Amino acid sequence: MAPAGATTGSRENRRVPRGLRPGGEFDRYLAHLAGQDRFSGVVLLAYRDRPVLLRAYGLTDRARSVPNHASTRFNIASVTKSLTGIAVMRLVEQRKVKLNGKLGDYLDGFAPEVANAVTVHHLLTHTSGMGGYSRTDAFAQGVQRWTSEAEVMDGILGIIRATESKAADPGIEHRYSDSGYAVLGAIVAAMSKGSYYDYVHEHVMAAAGMTRSGFFPKPKVLAADDIAHPHTTDRETGARIDFTTSPYFGYLGGPADAAYATAEDLLRFAVAVRDTDTLLSRAFATLTTGAKVPVPADTAPPAWAEHQFYGYGFRAAIAGGHRLFGHSGTGAGNRSNLDIFPDLGWVTVTLGNYLDPITDVVRLQRQLITQP
Protein backbone atom coordinates (compact mmCIF):
# COMPACT_ATOMS: atom_id res chain seq x y z
CA MET A 1 0.00 0.00 0.00
CA ALA A 2 1.49 3.34 -1.02
CA PRO A 3 1.70 6.10 1.56
CA ALA A 4 -0.90 8.87 1.30
CA GLY A 5 0.62 12.32 1.21
CA ALA A 6 4.16 11.05 1.86
CA THR A 7 7.01 13.53 1.95
CA THR A 8 10.62 13.28 3.05
CA GLY A 9 13.25 15.68 4.22
CA SER A 10 15.91 16.51 1.63
CA ARG A 11 18.77 16.77 4.11
CA GLU A 12 21.03 13.76 4.42
CA ASN A 13 23.36 13.66 7.38
CA ARG A 14 25.89 11.06 8.36
CA ARG A 15 24.45 11.08 11.88
CA VAL A 16 21.02 9.97 10.61
CA PRO A 17 20.94 6.16 10.81
CA ARG A 18 20.22 4.50 7.48
CA GLY A 19 17.36 2.62 9.10
CA LEU A 20 15.50 5.91 9.70
CA ARG A 21 15.98 7.38 6.25
CA PRO A 22 13.44 7.09 3.43
CA GLY A 23 13.43 3.50 2.21
CA GLY A 24 15.20 2.30 5.35
CA GLU A 25 14.21 -0.36 7.86
CA PHE A 26 11.69 1.80 9.71
CA ASP A 27 10.08 3.16 6.52
CA ARG A 28 9.63 -0.37 5.19
CA TYR A 29 8.20 -1.61 8.49
CA LEU A 30 5.65 1.20 8.59
CA ALA A 31 4.58 0.48 5.01
CA HIS A 32 4.23 -3.20 5.92
CA LEU A 33 1.89 -2.41 8.83
CA ALA A 34 -0.17 -0.05 6.69
CA GLY A 35 -0.38 -2.63 3.92
CA GLN A 36 -1.95 -5.03 6.43
CA ASP A 37 -4.34 -2.29 7.62
CA ARG A 38 -2.67 -2.36 11.03
CA PHE A 39 -1.63 1.29 10.97
CA SER A 40 -3.54 4.37 9.90
CA GLY A 41 -2.05 7.74 10.68
CA VAL A 42 1.00 9.97 10.35
CA VAL A 43 4.60 9.51 11.48
CA LEU A 44 7.18 12.30 11.56
CA LEU A 45 10.86 11.77 12.36
CA ALA A 46 12.89 14.95 12.73
CA TYR A 47 16.63 15.42 13.30
CA ARG A 48 17.85 18.83 14.43
CA ASP A 49 14.31 20.10 13.90
CA ARG A 50 14.17 19.11 10.22
CA PRO A 51 11.99 16.24 8.98
CA VAL A 52 13.94 13.17 7.94
CA LEU A 53 10.82 11.11 7.26
CA LEU A 54 7.16 12.14 7.07
CA ARG A 55 4.60 9.50 6.12
CA ALA A 56 0.80 9.38 6.05
CA TYR A 57 -1.23 6.20 5.64
CA GLY A 58 -4.85 5.13 5.82
CA LEU A 59 -8.09 7.04 5.92
CA THR A 60 -9.30 10.04 7.88
CA ASP A 61 -12.92 9.11 7.23
CA ARG A 62 -13.59 5.58 5.95
CA ALA A 63 -17.23 6.29 5.08
CA ARG A 64 -16.19 9.04 2.65
CA SER A 65 -12.83 7.47 1.68
CA VAL A 66 -10.92 10.60 2.74
CA PRO A 67 -7.19 9.78 3.05
CA ASN A 68 -4.91 10.86 5.86
CA HIS A 69 -2.35 13.47 4.84
CA ALA A 70 0.74 14.92 6.46
CA SER A 71 -1.41 17.89 7.53
CA THR A 72 -4.26 15.81 9.00
CA ARG A 73 -5.19 16.73 12.57
CA PHE A 74 -5.44 13.87 15.07
CA ASN A 75 -6.84 13.48 18.55
CA ILE A 76 -3.63 13.35 20.60
CA ALA A 77 -5.30 11.86 23.70
CA SER A 78 -3.07 12.13 26.80
CA VAL A 79 -0.33 14.03 24.97
CA THR A 80 -2.73 16.85 25.87
CA LYS A 81 -1.38 16.57 29.43
CA SER A 82 1.91 18.05 28.21
CA LEU A 83 0.03 21.13 26.98
CA THR A 84 -1.74 21.40 30.33
CA GLY A 85 1.55 20.93 32.18
CA ILE A 86 3.13 23.79 30.22
CA ALA A 87 0.10 26.00 30.93
CA VAL A 88 0.38 25.37 34.67
CA MET A 89 4.13 25.91 34.71
CA ARG A 90 3.77 29.24 32.89
CA LEU A 91 1.59 30.37 35.79
CA VAL A 92 4.12 28.96 38.26
CA GLU A 93 6.94 30.88 36.58
CA GLN A 94 4.79 34.02 36.72
CA ARG A 95 4.23 33.36 40.46
CA LYS A 96 0.48 33.10 40.04
CA VAL A 97 0.51 29.43 41.11
CA LYS A 98 2.77 27.68 43.61
CA LEU A 99 3.97 24.10 43.21
CA ASN A 100 3.47 23.54 46.92
CA GLY A 101 0.15 25.39 46.88
CA LYS A 102 -2.83 23.39 48.14
CA LEU A 103 -5.76 22.56 45.88
CA GLY A 104 -8.02 24.50 48.23
CA ASP A 105 -5.94 27.65 47.64
CA TYR A 106 -7.23 27.77 44.06
CA LEU A 107 -10.55 25.93 43.86
CA ASP A 108 -13.48 25.47 46.21
CA GLY A 109 -16.01 22.67 46.62
CA PHE A 110 -13.56 19.86 47.45
CA ALA A 111 -13.64 17.83 50.64
CA PRO A 112 -11.28 19.28 53.27
CA GLU A 113 -9.24 16.06 53.26
CA VAL A 114 -8.46 16.73 49.58
CA ALA A 115 -8.39 20.53 49.51
CA ASN A 116 -5.90 20.76 52.38
CA ALA A 117 -3.64 17.84 51.43
CA VAL A 118 -3.25 17.73 47.65
CA THR A 119 -0.74 20.14 46.11
CA VAL A 120 -0.13 21.35 42.57
CA HIS A 121 3.05 19.25 42.57
CA HIS A 122 0.99 16.17 43.44
CA LEU A 123 -1.46 16.87 40.62
CA LEU A 124 1.28 17.42 38.04
CA THR A 125 3.16 14.22 38.97
CA HIS A 126 0.10 11.96 39.36
CA THR A 127 0.79 11.53 43.06
CA SER A 128 -2.43 13.19 44.27
CA GLY A 129 -4.15 9.88 44.97
CA MET A 130 -6.99 10.83 42.60
CA GLY A 131 -8.38 8.42 40.03
CA GLY A 132 -10.07 8.74 36.64
CA TYR A 133 -13.37 10.55 36.18
CA SER A 134 -13.90 8.99 32.73
CA ARG A 135 -14.44 5.55 34.28
CA THR A 136 -17.54 6.68 36.18
CA ASP A 137 -21.19 6.17 35.21
CA ALA A 138 -21.74 9.89 35.73
CA PHE A 139 -19.23 10.69 32.99
CA ALA A 140 -20.77 8.13 30.60
CA GLN A 141 -24.09 9.90 31.08
CA GLY A 142 -22.71 13.43 30.98
CA VAL A 143 -20.63 12.98 27.82
CA GLN A 144 -23.85 12.25 25.95
CA ARG A 145 -25.54 15.53 26.92
CA TRP A 146 -22.81 18.19 27.31
CA THR A 147 -22.82 20.63 24.39
CA SER A 148 -20.51 23.47 25.39
CA GLU A 149 -17.05 24.13 26.84
CA ALA A 150 -18.58 25.25 30.13
CA GLU A 151 -20.75 22.14 30.42
CA VAL A 152 -17.77 19.87 29.77
CA MET A 153 -15.51 21.55 32.35
CA ASP A 154 -18.24 22.03 34.96
CA GLY A 155 -19.54 18.51 34.44
CA ILE A 156 -16.11 16.88 34.83
CA LEU A 157 -15.23 18.96 37.90
CA GLY A 158 -18.59 18.15 39.44
CA ILE A 159 -17.89 14.43 39.07
CA ILE A 160 -14.42 14.80 40.58
CA ARG A 161 -15.69 16.83 43.55
CA ALA A 162 -18.31 14.17 44.22
CA THR A 163 -16.08 11.12 43.82
CA GLU A 164 -12.79 12.32 45.33
CA SER A 165 -14.01 12.68 48.90
CA LYS A 166 -10.67 11.93 50.51
CA ALA A 167 -7.03 11.94 49.56
CA ALA A 168 -5.45 8.50 49.09
CA ASP A 169 -2.09 9.28 50.69
CA PRO A 170 -1.02 12.14 48.38
CA GLY A 171 2.67 12.22 47.60
CA ILE A 172 3.23 8.53 48.32
CA GLU A 173 3.15 6.94 44.88
CA HIS A 174 2.58 7.59 41.19
CA ARG A 175 -1.02 6.75 40.28
CA TYR A 176 -1.91 7.95 36.79
CA SER A 177 -4.89 10.28 37.09
CA ASP A 178 -7.01 11.98 34.45
CA SER A 179 -8.94 13.58 37.31
CA GLY A 180 -5.79 15.31 38.55
CA TYR A 181 -5.19 16.91 35.16
CA ALA A 182 -8.80 18.02 34.84
CA VAL A 183 -8.34 19.78 38.19
CA LEU A 184 -5.16 21.41 36.87
CA GLY A 185 -7.14 22.71 33.91
CA ALA A 186 -9.63 24.26 36.31
CA ILE A 187 -6.76 25.89 38.21
CA VAL A 188 -5.46 27.35 34.94
CA ALA A 189 -8.89 28.82 34.27
CA ALA A 190 -9.26 30.21 37.78
CA MET A 191 -5.84 31.82 37.98
CA SER A 192 -5.90 33.21 34.43
CA LYS A 193 -9.43 34.50 35.04
CA GLY A 194 -10.70 33.01 31.82
CA SER A 195 -11.22 29.75 29.95
CA TYR A 196 -8.77 26.87 30.12
CA TYR A 197 -9.26 26.35 26.39
CA ASP A 198 -8.55 30.00 25.55
CA TYR A 199 -5.46 30.05 27.75
CA VAL A 200 -3.92 26.94 26.19
CA HIS A 201 -4.77 28.09 22.68
CA GLU A 202 -3.16 31.51 23.16
CA HIS A 203 -0.28 30.86 25.55
CA VAL A 204 0.73 27.35 24.52
CA MET A 205 -0.47 26.41 21.04
CA ALA A 206 -0.30 29.80 19.31
CA ALA A 207 2.88 30.75 21.18
CA ALA A 208 4.57 27.57 19.94
CA GLY A 209 3.40 28.11 16.35
CA MET A 210 0.82 25.31 16.46
CA THR A 211 -1.43 27.09 13.99
CA ARG A 212 -3.58 24.08 13.05
CA SER A 213 -4.12 22.64 16.51
CA GLY A 214 -6.94 23.12 18.99
CA PHE A 215 -9.76 21.64 21.03
CA PHE A 216 -12.33 21.00 18.32
CA PRO A 217 -16.02 20.48 19.13
CA LYS A 218 -17.86 17.49 17.71
CA PRO A 219 -19.63 19.41 14.89
CA LYS A 220 -16.28 20.62 13.54
CA VAL A 221 -14.76 17.13 13.71
CA LEU A 222 -17.69 15.69 11.77
CA ALA A 223 -17.67 18.41 9.11
CA ALA A 224 -13.93 18.64 8.43
CA ASP A 225 -11.99 16.60 5.87
CA ASP A 226 -8.67 17.15 7.66
CA ILE A 227 -9.55 15.91 11.17
CA ALA A 228 -9.06 12.17 11.58
CA HIS A 229 -11.98 10.11 12.82
CA PRO A 230 -10.98 7.63 15.54
CA HIS A 231 -11.72 3.98 14.71
CA THR A 232 -12.29 1.16 17.15
CA THR A 233 -12.29 -2.51 16.14
CA ASP A 234 -15.14 -4.99 16.42
CA ARG A 235 -13.86 -7.85 18.56
CA GLU A 236 -15.79 -10.52 16.66
CA THR A 237 -15.48 -9.41 13.04
CA GLY A 238 -12.35 -7.24 13.16
CA ALA A 239 -14.23 -4.51 11.30
CA ARG A 240 -13.17 -0.89 11.77
CA ILE A 241 -15.88 1.20 13.46
CA ASP A 242 -15.92 4.99 13.25
CA PHE A 243 -16.12 6.08 16.89
CA THR A 244 -17.71 9.41 15.94
CA THR A 245 -20.93 7.43 15.39
CA SER A 246 -20.95 6.31 19.04
CA PRO A 247 -23.17 8.14 21.56
CA TYR A 248 -20.05 8.28 23.78
CA PHE A 249 -18.13 10.43 21.30
CA GLY A 250 -18.41 13.62 23.29
CA TYR A 251 -18.76 17.24 22.35
CA LEU A 252 -15.25 18.28 23.42
CA GLY A 253 -12.14 16.99 25.14
CA GLY A 254 -10.67 18.32 28.36
CA PRO A 255 -7.34 19.15 30.03
CA ALA A 256 -6.44 15.47 30.43
CA ASP A 257 -7.03 14.40 26.85
CA ALA A 258 -8.45 15.04 23.39
CA ALA A 259 -6.74 18.11 21.98
CA TYR A 260 -6.14 17.83 18.22
CA ALA A 261 -2.83 18.50 16.48
CA THR A 262 -0.87 17.78 13.33
CA ALA A 263 2.47 16.01 13.43
CA GLU A 264 4.26 19.16 12.30
CA ASP A 265 2.57 21.22 15.02
CA LEU A 266 3.77 18.75 17.65
CA LEU A 267 7.29 19.12 16.26
CA ARG A 268 6.94 22.88 16.71
CA PHE A 269 5.75 22.29 20.28
CA ALA A 270 8.72 20.04 20.99
CA VAL A 271 11.16 22.63 19.68
CA ALA A 272 9.51 25.39 21.71
CA VAL A 273 9.70 23.33 24.89
CA ARG A 274 13.25 22.09 24.34
CA ASP A 275 15.36 24.91 23.00
CA THR A 276 13.74 28.31 23.31
CA ASP A 277 12.26 30.72 25.82
CA THR A 278 9.03 30.75 23.83
CA LEU A 279 6.86 28.90 26.35
CA LEU A 280 9.00 28.79 29.47
CA SER A 281 12.44 30.02 30.40
CA ARG A 282 15.09 27.38 29.83
CA ALA A 283 15.38 26.82 33.56
CA PHE A 284 11.66 26.20 33.94
CA ALA A 285 11.53 24.06 30.78
CA THR A 286 14.23 21.84 32.27
CA LEU A 287 12.32 21.70 35.55
CA THR A 288 9.08 20.82 33.77
CA THR A 289 10.43 18.01 31.60
CA GLY A 290 12.80 16.46 34.14
CA ALA A 291 12.11 13.33 36.17
CA LYS A 292 10.24 13.90 39.44
CA VAL A 293 8.82 10.53 40.51
CA PRO A 294 9.50 6.94 39.38
CA VAL A 295 6.73 5.21 37.45
CA PRO A 296 6.03 1.65 38.65
CA ALA A 297 6.94 -0.87 35.95
CA ASP A 298 3.51 -2.51 36.09
CA THR A 299 1.77 0.77 35.25
CA ALA A 300 4.19 2.19 32.66
CA PRO A 301 3.34 2.22 28.94
CA PRO A 302 5.09 -0.80 27.42
CA ALA A 303 6.86 1.26 24.77
CA TRP A 304 8.43 3.55 27.30
CA ALA A 305 12.08 2.62 27.77
CA GLU A 306 13.83 0.88 30.63
CA HIS A 307 13.96 3.60 33.31
CA GLN A 308 10.70 5.52 33.52
CA PHE A 309 9.63 8.59 35.47
CA TYR A 310 7.07 11.39 35.37
CA GLY A 311 7.76 15.13 35.39
CA TYR A 312 5.28 18.01 35.19
CA GLY A 313 3.05 16.91 32.32
CA PHE A 314 5.78 14.89 30.65
CA ARG A 315 6.96 11.31 30.88
CA ALA A 316 10.72 11.11 31.32
CA ALA A 317 12.99 8.15 30.69
CA ILE A 318 16.45 6.83 29.97
CA ALA A 319 16.37 4.93 26.67
CA GLY A 320 19.47 3.29 25.30
CA GLY A 321 21.56 5.38 27.67
CA HIS A 322 20.06 8.68 26.51
CA ARG A 323 17.62 11.12 28.08
CA LEU A 324 14.11 11.05 26.64
CA PHE A 325 10.95 12.98 27.47
CA GLY A 326 7.52 13.40 25.89
CA HIS A 327 4.18 11.67 26.32
CA SER A 328 2.02 8.87 25.00
CA GLY A 329 -1.74 8.86 24.47
CA THR A 330 -4.48 6.28 24.21
CA GLY A 331 -8.15 6.90 23.48
CA ALA A 332 -11.16 5.20 22.00
CA GLY A 333 -9.89 4.57 18.48
CA ASN A 334 -6.73 6.64 18.55
CA ARG A 335 -3.10 6.38 19.64
CA SER A 336 -0.36 9.00 19.89
CA ASN A 337 3.24 9.37 20.99
CA LEU A 338 5.71 12.23 21.21
CA ASP A 339 9.41 11.49 21.86
CA ILE A 340 12.05 14.17 22.42
CA PHE A 341 15.73 13.18 22.67
CA PRO A 342 17.29 16.52 23.74
CA ASP A 343 20.89 15.32 23.66
CA LEU A 344 20.63 13.49 20.33
CA GLY A 345 18.63 16.12 18.46
CA TRP A 346 15.72 13.82 17.59
CA VAL A 347 11.96 14.38 17.81
CA THR A 348 9.48 11.72 16.73
CA VAL A 349 5.72 12.09 16.42
CA THR A 350 3.43 9.11 15.89
CA LEU A 351 -0.29 9.72 15.44
CA GLY A 352 -2.85 7.04 14.66
CA ASN A 353 -6.61 6.82 14.29
CA TYR A 354 -6.89 3.08 14.94
CA LEU A 355 -7.25 1.37 18.28
CA ASP A 356 -4.28 -0.86 17.37
CA PRO A 357 -1.26 -0.22 19.62
CA ILE A 358 1.70 1.66 18.16
CA THR A 359 4.09 0.14 20.69
CA ASP A 360 6.24 -1.66 18.13
CA VAL A 361 6.42 1.41 15.90
CA VAL A 362 7.72 3.55 18.76
CA ARG A 363 10.07 0.83 20.01
CA LEU A 364 11.74 0.52 16.58
CA GLN A 365 12.13 4.30 16.33
CA ARG A 366 13.92 4.39 19.67
CA GLN A 367 16.08 1.39 18.88
CA LEU A 368 17.36 2.96 15.66
CA ILE A 369 17.83 6.41 17.21
CA THR A 370 19.85 5.18 20.18
CA GLN A 371 21.91 2.49 18.47
CA PRO A 372 25.69 3.05 18.74
Q: Determine the Cα–Cα distance for residues 335 and 356; give it in Å rounded to an integer.
A: 8
pLDDT for 165 equals 74
- Please report the domains of the chain, with CATH numbers, ordered by start residue: 7-80+210-370 (3.40.710.10), 81-204 (3.40.710.10)
CA dihedral 227, 63, 67, 267 (to 10 degrees): 30
Q: What pLDDT tens digit does each residue of the chain (372 aa) get?
A: 445 544 444 444 458 999 999 999 999 999 999 999 999 999 999 999 999 999 999 999 999 999 999 999 999 999 999 999 999 999 999 999 999 999 999 999 999 999 999 999 999 999 999 999 999 999 999 999 999 999 999 999 999 999 987 656 899 889 999 999 999 999 999 999 999 999 999 999 999 999 999 999 999 999 999 999 999 999 899 899 999 999 999 999 999 998 999 999 999 999 999 988 999 999 999 999 999 999 987 766 655 577 899 999 999 999 889 999 999 999 999 999 999 999 999 999 999 999 888 989 999 999 999 998
Q: Which residues of 302-319 are buried (b: 16+ CB within 10 A; e: fewer)?
A: ebbbeebbbbbbbbbbeb
pLDDT for 50 equals 96
Q: Determine the Cα–Cα distance for residues 223 and 229; give it in Å rounded to an integer.
A: 11
What is the DSSP-derived secondary structure letter of residue 227?
B
* Nearest to 325, CA basis, from 270, 284, 370: 270
pLDDT for 177 equals 96
Q: Determine the Cα–Cα distance for residues 61 and 225; give it in Å rounded to an integer.
A: 8
* Nearest to 358, CA basis, from 154, 74, 65, 102: 74
pLDDT for 226 equals 98
* Nearest to 222, CA basis, from 197, 265, 251, 198: 251
pLDDT for 213 equals 98
pLDDT for 9 equals 43
